[in-house]
Structure 1
Amino acid sequence: LTMATLLRLPTLPLTATVARSAQRPGSRTLAHSPVRPSRAAGPGRSVVAAALAPNLPTNSDYGQPSSSDAPPSAPIRRKVSARDFRHPLDQQNTQLLQAIPGLSNLTKALVTPLAEQMLILEQLSTSILVGPKQLPHIHQLVLDAAEVLDIPPPSLYIRQSSQPNAYTLAISGREPVVVVHTALIELMTEAELQAVLAHEMGHLKCDHGVWLTVANLLTLGVEISPFTPSFLVGNLQDNLMRWVRAAELSCDRAALLVAGDPKVVVSVLMKLSGGCPKLAGQLNVDAFLDQARGYDEASNSPLGWYLRNAQTRQLTHPLPVARAREIDEWSRSAEFLALGVTPAPTPSGITDGLSGIEV
């Protein structure tokens, strides 16, 4: 790849609206087995080309979907494509890299079998492997989510940790692994835990482990080139992080496809922001969404944008309030409603815990 090739990549700001994405050619409705209702009562710019563009407030928002009061028509009835829920920036940058022949296979080959085996042995030796005979009810959550997203179910490991977290390990195209910390299980309801699992599976569905690795390698190559202007390096890093954050928004949408109710996904984000098992039953999703709108209003000024941009530019994940607002609005967008998902009614307060699990 030459610098000239990279600089021809088109741009799309992260602020591109989901409504625009809904109007793009080739947008399709879904058909798959119906989304299982929640079982708990609770809730572009390319990496390189954008570096040459003016420093616009692309981090001030993460998409403003068009809304509709029309009710959804039917559950998902056919296989889900990653295109059906990718964030516009994630979609465009992925397509640009997919157009380069052999790039995916080359990237997978760069990670040696030794490194992959080390990661697998690490999980087998220090975590609990969930399966039909080990926490089968959680295993069923994995199977159901994988069916909705139309991917092979990954291996799920539960790891002892006081930090509520979950992450995905997908290397060299072999069996992917999802790891969930015990603190997260203690914090979430069953429906919320499944939404977390679906978010991680969204990374697998979108091949983020491959394409974001490619983007990192290309960015690194440009950065170490003696012909790269110094001002370009920082912009390359900023735009790569925008893509990383957009990928997280894509996976929040995958979580919504499985959960069927945006309040379940928003509740996950709310609990990760400031929840604890003692307060879980007292938290209110609607109040958290009001807080998200208040954040937008507070940063809706030149100074507010500057401070917000400084706050977010190096983050790997969008701010929780931005993610909550974005998924709430996307759930009412024409694009989402065209998918035919019927959200399960969910009260704003959550009182049900994850029954049968004590960790």
Structure 2
Amino acid sequence: MANVNPSSFQSTLDRKLRTELLADKDVKWALQRVEKVTTGLGFTARRRLLANSLRLTRSMAPAVAEALAECKEMLGYDKPVEVFVRPDPMINASAVYNPPGHPLIVLSSRLIEVFTEAELRFVMGHELGHLTFEHFAIPMPVTAIAEDAAGVIVPRHTALKLYLWCRAAEVSADRAGLLCGKDPDAAASGFFKLASGLASGFVKPDLEAYSRQVDSLVSAPSARAKPREDDDTLDCFSTHPFSPLRVRAVVAFSKSKTYRALVGRSGGGEGLSDEEVDSIIERDFREMDASYLEEQSPHAELLRRALFLGGLLVAHAHEGVSERELQALSALLGSEHVGVLPSVDAARRELTDVSARVREKAPTSERARLLQHLTLVAAADGNVAEEEFMELQGLAAALSVPVSLIDETLRGAAHPLD
């Protein structure tokens, strides 16, 4: 099929956030610093792959080569791409931006063994989507943590905005994968295999349930505006490939007029409008909003105080508060909120009262967001010690948020674009 214009199906939020971030002066400076440090490392990455992986040719893996060719034609991507297989019992895939060399797509040996042709086209399309949309123009997570002589360059909630953009970029890449695979069921099963490692047919994702969710949200606009307190509220913070946010977004796009027109299935004007699809995605992304860091209200101040006290205790848990951790806390809250540090005992006593008020007044999504931000503070020095992890577990209990969110946040910070 003839190629399509990628801008016709790119997530609106991906495009909006990317434009804003690339215009941000601090992000620009961070990107300059990153480029200075990483220039010339592309050949090193390729040499490492040649030493530990196998470059796939058409004669070795005709199905992989065919999937790549079909995806490149569909997306109009005309640059050379090399595909490597890495011996790995886990099911995973990644794209590697490799200047000055060619871009790379790396597949695990397990993925090639267990993915169907449709699932393979989906995952190849997804990785090629990252390259097509030039998502690596903002390399993450290095842009969020880049430093100059004065410390971390990107301030406050710009760093959180960068991570939010990564989630939106995944939505665009998933749409590219769906266009290449042309099969929502294959996309969902591919997500599920990536997340679970299961290849048998005994456990299957319930795609129809997501389809019903999308239909109900479209038919009831008021439901999209309501605060989230449903069973999958916390899944908005998930970085797993099978997160309901991503599956729901793929299903919504598969029902859109845009998708149906691009794959030649349009007829009678049926399908969701782009605005309806975007509204469903924005409903989920609203739960990750960091506006409480800027708002001036008693409720926002309560949340900021919880973040300050919790961050202080986590940072102190292992060898005291490091300068890097204090910078991370200041970057989130602003230096005006990080003044004289209370003693650990005083902070712990105050946090007991503050966390009780947060449990009473804040919905699940806000409490989850607090724990997510506290975890990012703990990871600011590049390592989360056992003592810090135990402190985070205590905070999770105090906020009535599952401990698993800590692992999700750490994974997402390390690998924001999969």
> What's the TM-score bracket when you normalise by the shorter of the two chains?
0.5 to 0.7
Contact 1:244 1:316 in 2 (8 A): no
TM-superposed CA distance for 1:168, in Å, is: 0.8
TM-superposed CA distance for 1:147, in Å, is: 1.4
Per-residue CA distance 1:269-326 (angstroms, 9 max, x = gap): 133333522336x635535636977xx9xx99757279835x644x556752221111
Instruction: Tell me what 2:16 maps to.
Output: 92
Q: Structure 2 counterpart of 1:248, which letter?
A: E
Per-residue CA distance 1:8-42 (angstroms, 9 max, x = gap): xxxxxxxxxxxxxxxxxxxxxxxxxx1xxxxxxxx
Contact 2:145 2:152 in 1 (8 A): no
CA distance 1:284–1:304, shift in 2 (3 Å): closer
TM-superposed CA distance for 1:340, in Å, is: 4.8
Distance in 2 of aligned mates of 1:158 and 1:112: 25
Distance in 2 of aligned mates of 1:94 and 1:120: 28
Distance in 1 of aligned mates of 2:194 and 2:225: 25
1:146-161 equivalences in 2 (<5 Å): 146-151=72-77, 152-161=79-88
Distance in 1 of aligned mates of 2:46 and 2:174: 26
TM-superposed CA distance for 1:98, in Å, is: 5.5
Per-residue CA distance 1:147-185 (angstroms, 9 max, x = gap): 111112411111111211100110335301111112222
Instruction: Tell me what 1:175 maps to.
Output: 102
Q: Structure 1 counterpart of 2:255, which letter?
A: R
Residue 200 of structure 1 pairs with residue 123 of structure 2: no
Residue 245 of structure 1 pairs with residue 167 of structure 2: yes
Structure 1 SS opposite 2:85 = strand
**One of 130, 136, 140 as aligned partner of 2:62:** 136
**One of 312, 330, 347 as aligned partner of 2:253:** 330
Identity of aligned residues (%): 24
Per-residue CA distance 1:25-75 (angstroms, 9 max, x = gap): xxxxxxxxx1xxxxxxxxxxxxxxxxxxxxxxxxxxxxxxxxxxxxxxxxx
Instruction: Tell me what 2:229 maps to.
Output: 304
Structure 1 SS opposite 2:138 = helix
CA distance 1:80–1:212, shift in 2 (3 Å): farther
Contact 1:200 1:251 in 2 (8 A): yes
Distance in 2 of aligned mates of 1:284 and 1:243: 26
Structure 2 SS opposite 1:164 = coil
Instruction: Tell me what 1:289 maps to.
Output: 210
Structure 2 SS opposite 1:304 = coil
Residue 82 of structure 1 pairs with residue 6 of structure 2: yes
Calculate the TM-score normalised by the size of structure 2. 0.52
Distance in 1 of aligned mates of 2:97 and 2:153: 34
Distance in 1 of aligned mates of 2:48 and 2:138: 25
- Higher mean displacement: 151-160 or 217-226: 217-226
Structure 2 SS opposite 1:168 = strand
Distance in 2 of aligned mates of 1:285 and 1:194: 21
Alignment RMSD, CA only?
4.0
TM-superposed CA distance for 1:120, in Å, is: 0.6
Answer 1 or 2: which has greater helix percent. Answer: 2
Distance in 1 of aligned mates of 2:38 and 2:128: 21
Q: Structure 2 counterpart of 1:144, which letter?
A: E
Distance in 2 of aligned mates of 1:188 and 1:196: 9
TM-superposed CA distance for 1:209, in Å, is: 1.2
Which consecutive unaligned segments of at least 5 residues does structure 1 have? 1-33, 35-76, 344-359
Which consecutive unaligned segments of at least 5 residues does structure 2 have? 218-223, 267-418
TM-superposed CA distance for 1:86, in Å, is: 1.6
Calculate the TM-score normalised by the size of structure 1. 0.59
Distance in 2 of aligned mates of 1:128 and 1:227: 38
Distance in 1 of aligned mates of 2:105 and 2:164: 24
Q: Structure 1 counterpart of 2:174, which letter?
A: D
CA distance 1:331–1:302, shift in 2 (3 Å): closer
Instruction: Tell me what 1:274 maps to.
Output: 196
